Amino acid sequence: MSPEVLSKLVNLLSFAALGLTVLLIVRIRLEGQVRAFGLQSFLLALLSALIAFYSGSFELLGVAVALVVVKVVTIPRVLNRAVANIGLSRVAAPYLGTAPALMICGLLTIIAFYVMTPIAASNPLPTADAMPLAFAGVLIGFFIMVNRRRAVTQILGFLMLENGIFLLALLATYGVPFIVEMGVFLDVLVAVLIMEVFVYHIKDNFDSIDVGELGKLKE
Amino acid sequence: MFDLFLLTLACFGVGGLGALVAARSPTLARIVGHVSALLGAISALTFGVAGLAGGSMQLNIPDLLPIGGAAFGVDRLSAFFVLIIAVGAIPAALYAIGYTREYAGKHSLAGIGFAFNIFIAAMILVPLARNVLTFLALWELMSLASYFLVITEPEREDTLSAGWVYFVMTHAGFAALFLGFLLLAQTTGSIHFTEWSAAAAQLDPDSRNLVFVLLAIGFGSKAGVIPLHIWLPRAHPAAPSHISALMSGVMIKLGVYGLLRVAFDWLGAGPLWWGGMMLIVGAVSGVLGVLYALVDPDLKRLLAYSSVENIGIIMLGVGAAMLFQATQLPGLAALALVAALYHTLNHAAFKSLLFMGAGAVLHAAHTSNMEDLGGLIKRMPQTAALFLVGSLAIAALPPFNGFISEWLTFQSLLLSFQISAHTVNLIFALGVAALALTSGLAVACFVRAFGITFLALPRSDRAEHAYEVDWTMRAAMALLALICIVLGVAPSLVLTPLEAIVFELTSAHADMRFNLTAVVANGEFGWVAPLWIGLGLVMFLLAIPLALRLLGANQRRRYYETWGCGRALQTARFEYTATAFANPFKRVFAVLYRPIKDLDIEFHPESRYFVRTIEYYNEGRLIFEDALYRPLLGVIETLARRARVLQSGNVHSYLVYILVALVALLIFAV
Amino acid sequence: MFTEIAIELFQLLLVAFGSPLLVGVIRKAKARLQGRRGAPIFQPYADIRKLFSKEVVVSENSSWIFRFTPYLLATTMLLAALIVPVLTTSAPLGFMGNIVALMYLFLLGTFFLALAGLDAGSAFGGMGSSREVAIAALAEPTVLIAIFGIALRAGTTSLDGIIIRFAAEPLLMLNAGHLLAFFAFFIVALAENGRLPVDNPATHLELTMIHEAMILEYSGRLLALVEWAAGMKLFLFLTLISNLFFPWGVALSNTPIALMIAFFALALKLLLFAGAIALLETAVAKLRLFRVPELLAGSFTVALLAVVTSFFLK
């Protein structure tokens, strides 16, 4: 596989991953959002496998497998359990409607391009061109955490932000050492499990998972 | 050239003075005033054509004005704008002959005739002015004359306040112009325009930027760019329709003239942010102008907002040209300029046509509120057809003139990829998006304007009793419609002189080729053949019915009621209203309109199941007035109240003021 | 010279007579996906022929614009058929306009159709007109930004030039900007042609109609012309998309073999798109009217991204 073909494939897959982040803004139902996250993690695993194949690194292949196990299988299952626990609930609308939120995503992507392109230009690896896209994923994940009021969607925003960081590391340096990756995965898994328990308790106490309601605790 | 100049002035002089002299007889005043204006405009047209062919003229009258006297001269750009003014003035004068007949006895036709002639004469002389005071004096004369014409009908509801807002805004712009000119004259050491282009290159960047901003504000407020546009939607509907046509079609173009002089002649090539600012202002004006037009139920105010939109499109071209000039792409700069100038001429033609059509509707149905109109196509068929031509032209649809100029503007914006600065590329991309949105919304706007006003059933008795207007008004509109069609299918007629103008202004050849039928931009980047498109449309339009007849299609036609879902009768109340038509836009762009909605239902006293009346009120708010002007006026009022302390009424304190001022002046000056 | 006129004429006839077949294929595919047998694929021809033999009933409230519009619609579509490179890139009348001019030509048809909707004085017609022009206006920025993205990479806006340039690029399908522009353009094609999820072409409820509401009053040969023109518009949009974004098979020269390959390639591409549209229409529901601007805003963002990537990832 030539570097050019790899570069183009990596660009395409990174775009698809970014598109799935944006989909989180568009989809309303929680099951759909969880599925989008699962799909995105799968794409990232595919990307890692591709780069592992290109660079002949077994470590990366292991990372890909771990990614599938943790983020495509386990975490979505945990989240689906949380969603099932919540059941139907009335939630407040996000702070910004869909159309302005989409515009802001476009704006954030442009900002990501502005910031990352000089950095990407000085990176000799063929995968470096897609770095702005990964950074855009980080920014958009952050925006989702700010914009949405449902706790589960905020968790998903955080997870996608984490995915973006993972992708950035992958593209910039073919991934960080295996031990570090595993540590991060473990952290994320534990965080999600804890958050699942919290969400259950929030729902139990306030009868809704609108994070804005937590403000009532101040009184 | 010089004799044409004198002839033009003489015609207007005769017209103005003649109208005053004939004050006793309104008919004579009307005829003399307007026919002379017509002749003067025709003479100005010849003058403009001669100027474009390369003629030149120079006139200096040393003692007519202080500091340097009056100076006139002509170059290709000035001649082009004189031509535009004439193209607007000839139909306006012709139209006025019939339109002003109804003023006899109510308003002074002598005064109207006088002001009309002064107005057009001043407008023609402005592009010919060649030093600071000549320009400013003529600019002020033009504003004053137009003010008096705007308030021709003071008995109508908002006319006086509209005139007042116009008066204040135009003088605010004048103040900015005054400052800018004085600053430029002081720093370059000369009051003659011709000497500025050489001297301005040596100026320090700070004064150049300040002069640019001041002159941009002054000329921009005359042109009606956002946020300096608030006088337009008030003044244009209040004025008589041919005056609105002149103001909208011609006078605001003089703002464009000034901006072109500033950017390309007097100050020379400037930094990137000048062009960027112009482009962004153009994009915002274009989109906001048409958005406001879309929701307005008054036909004339809709047309006024549409003028703001078209000025936005022209500014997009000008801004693009300035950016190309700043990035060393002179061929593309020239192309963008050609597009902007072409659109200036086109807008003069179709906006005048549309305002005259609106005036005809107002004349015949005594209302310009679209909610009370409808069905006029059967009662005023020729006016309707001419208004349709105007609508098609302004919506930039082939094969009319608006299409060509917008196409050229698009091509020059799309060609921006040749620049390699990312920020500039993004600004251009947003410009393309803005122009596209403007264009689409303009189609929606004029479907609404023409459809609600002219089609289906009349929505009120006044519309029901409308009648076709007299021949002078129709002839004027037909003339403009013909211009729209000709400029649409034969753009080479205009492109040849435009190329020469642009070459004179920027010393660069526009990056395009054209012949009688086709226009090609930038090598092989894009082409269009409007004559072929026009011919193709006509050919197929004739061939299809013929083919159907030959193939034996059923030719019978039967007239019956409109489908009503089983409803018993069809009245005008079942039609779609202008407010309803604009509803999708009000919802999508609600953040901009922030509409106030009110629903009032009156029930039958006996039972709540029967409804007597439903009143639905939906109006947008004018955000610029609320956000920008009202606070500004509030600040000025507060300052004025504080300053009132100085007016103590005591003679002694006034004497002290005089003494202090005298001493201070002596100390600082000596 | 003579061959080129013959080819141009053949392209015109292909569009004129092939569009009802395309509509028929889409309907049949949709029917099959919904578990029905569906009408035969040549049914639209029979429908149009039947309509031509019926008398025209015109509303008393309408004017000449109502009767003029169907002819204008058919005219603009036939003229567009001369400009769009259906089979070959060297059509002799292709110089009449570039892609920008083509979009404006379509807009001319939309303008008159919206007027015709208002002309009969019915509330449905007005509603259809209002919605249709709103959607057309909001789709314009997406179209032109997508064109900007295309012009950036191809260096030209002439339809022939774009195809030639793209056909020569080996890794075209892997180019992110290209696929993004395709996606945006496809959504616009759905919006402009009144397909789901924007508008349901098979609905019978007036309150859910957009395009159908405007043509509610038409009958006889006028309705036949309107339906034919709508079919041609769909054909032209799909041809444009398949030839611009997937340019393989388009004849670059006028030899008979190249033209035959072009014909079969076009048929294959149109078949695939017809299947895709049928699948999409079966799988998604019509969007609420005030969610359509969100869809268009999304496609605008996608198109803008296509442009931005072409700038940065050159």
Q: How confident is the model at residue B65 (pLDDT cuts 50, 70, 90)?
A: confident
The DSSP bridge partners found for residue B367 are: none
The answer, yes or no, to whether residue A212 has pLDDT greater than 70, is no
**How far away is chain C from the Cα of A111, in angstroms, using its nearest Cα?**
11
- pLDDT for A138-153, tens place per residue? 888 888 888 877 777 8
- pLDDT for B174-192, tens place per residue? 999 999 998 888 888 878 8
Q: How far is the C-alpha of B528 from the C-alpha of B408, rounded, in Å?
A: 10
**Which of B58-62, B174-178, B375-379, B537-541 is predicted with the least confidence, judged by mean pLDDT?**
B58-62
**Residue-level pLDDT at B253:** 94
**Residue-level pLDDT at B85:** 93
C110/B527 Cβ within 8 A: no
- pLDDT for C163-216, tens place per residue? 888 888 877 777 888 888 899 999 999 999 988 888 888 888 878 888 888 888
| B175 vs A192, higher pLDDT | B175
The answer, yes or no, to whether residue B304 has pLDDT greater than 90, is yes
**Which of B407-416, B618-627, C173-182 is predicted with the least confidence, judged by mean pLDDT?**
B618-627
Whole-angstrom CA distances from C23 to B603, C44, C199, C280 are 50, 7, 16, 15
Q: Is the CB of residue B665 less than 8 Å away from at least one CB of chain A?
A: no
The answer, yes or no, to whether residue B595 has pLDDT greater than 80, is no
- Give alpha helix (H) positions in B264-298: 272-295
The answer, yes or no, to whether residue B563 has pLDDT greater than 80, is no
Q: Which residues of A touch B426 (CB under 8 A)?
A: 110
| pTM metric for this prediction | 0.89
CB-nearest to C297 from A102, A109, A113 is A102
Whether A140 contacts A22, CB under 8 Å: yes
Q: How far is the C-alpha of C103 from the C-alpha of B407, rounded, in Å?
A: 11
First to last CA, chain B: 49
**Residue-level pLDDT at B76:** 87
- pLDDT for B252-290, tens place per residue? 999 999 999 998 888 877 888 899 999 999 999 999 999
Q: Is the CB of residue B642 less than 8 Å away from at least one CB of chain A?
A: no
Q: How confident is the model at residue A90 (pLDDT cuts 50, 70, 90)?
A: low
As a whole number, mean pLDDT of residues B41-47 equals 90
Q: Is the CB of residue B422 less than 8 Å away from at least one CB of chain A?
A: yes
As a whole number, the mean pLDDT across chain B is 87
Chains touching chain B through at least 3 C-beta pairs below 8 angstroms are: A, C
Test the C interface: residue of A9, A20, A102 with most C CBs within 10 Å: A102
Q: Report CA torsion sign: A118, A121, A124, A126.
A: positive
Give the nearest chain A residue to B422 (CA atoms): A114
> Cis bond leading into B399, ω under 30°?
yes
Q: How confident is the model at residue A93 (pLDDT cuts 50, 70, 90)?
A: low
Q: How far is the C-alpha of C10 from the C-alpha of C263, rounded, in Å?
A: 11
Whole-angstrom CA distances from A5 to A9, A17, A50, C247 are 6, 18, 11, 20
Q: Which residues of A touch C180 (CB under 8 A)?
A: 15
- pLDDT for B436-476, tens place per residue? 999 999 999 999 999 999 998 888 888 888 888 888 889 99
**Which of A81-90, B200-209, B290-299, C48-57 is predicted with the least confidence, judged by mean pLDDT?**
A81-90
The answer, yes or no, to whether residue C76 has pLDDT greater than 60, is yes
**Residue-level pLDDT at A219:** 53
What three-state secondary structure class fits C303?
helix
Q: Is the CB of residue A114 less than 8 Å away from at least one CB of chain B?
A: yes
- Tokens representing residue A103 in the block: 């515009």
Q: Is the CB of residue A95 less than 8 Å away from at least one CB of chain B?
A: no
As a whole number, mean pLDDT of residues B379-385 equals 92
The answer, yes or no, to whether residue C240 has pLDDT greater than 80, is yes
The DSSP bridge partners found for residue B240 are: none
A132/C312 Cβ within 8 A: yes
**Residue-level pLDDT at C79:** 92
CB-nearest to B397 from C111, C139, C156 is C111
The answer, yes or no, to whether residue B504 has pLDDT greater than 90, is no
Of B92, B71, B85, B75, nearest in space to B121 by CA: B85
- Tokens representing residue B266 in the block: 């007097």
Residue B447 buriedness (CB in 10 A; 0-12 / 13-18 / 19+): buried
Q: Give the count of alpha carbons within 13 A of A204, CB side only.
A: 8
ipTM of the complex: 0.93
First to last CA, chain A: 62
Longest alpha-carbon distance in chain A? 62
Quickly list DSSP for B557-600: EEEEPPP-TT-S---GGGSPPHHHHTHHHHHHTHHHH--EEEEE
CB interface of A with C, residues 111-130, below 8 Å: 113, 117, 129
Percent of chain B beyond pLDDT 90?
36
- Phi first, then psi, for residue A41 (nearest 5°) are -65, -35
| A26 vs B462, higher pLDDT | B462
The answer, yes or no, to whether residue A36 has pLDDT greater than 60, is yes
**How far away is chain B from the Cα of A98, in angstroms, using its nearest Cα?**
12
Size of interface B-C (CB pairs under 8 A): 258
**Which of A31-35, C90-94, C281-285 is predicted with the least confidence, judged by mean pLDDT?**
C90-94
**How far away is chain B from the Cα of A104, in angstroms, using its nearest Cα?**
15
Percent of chain C beyond pLDDT 70?
99
**Residue-level pLDDT at B103:** 81
Q: How far is the C-alpha of B519 from the C-alpha of A180, rounded, in Å?
A: 63
**How far away is chain C from the Cα of A102, in angstroms, using its nearest Cα?**
6
Q: How many CB atoms lie within 10 A of CB B635?
A: 10
- pLDDT for C80-90, tens place per residue? 998 888 888 77
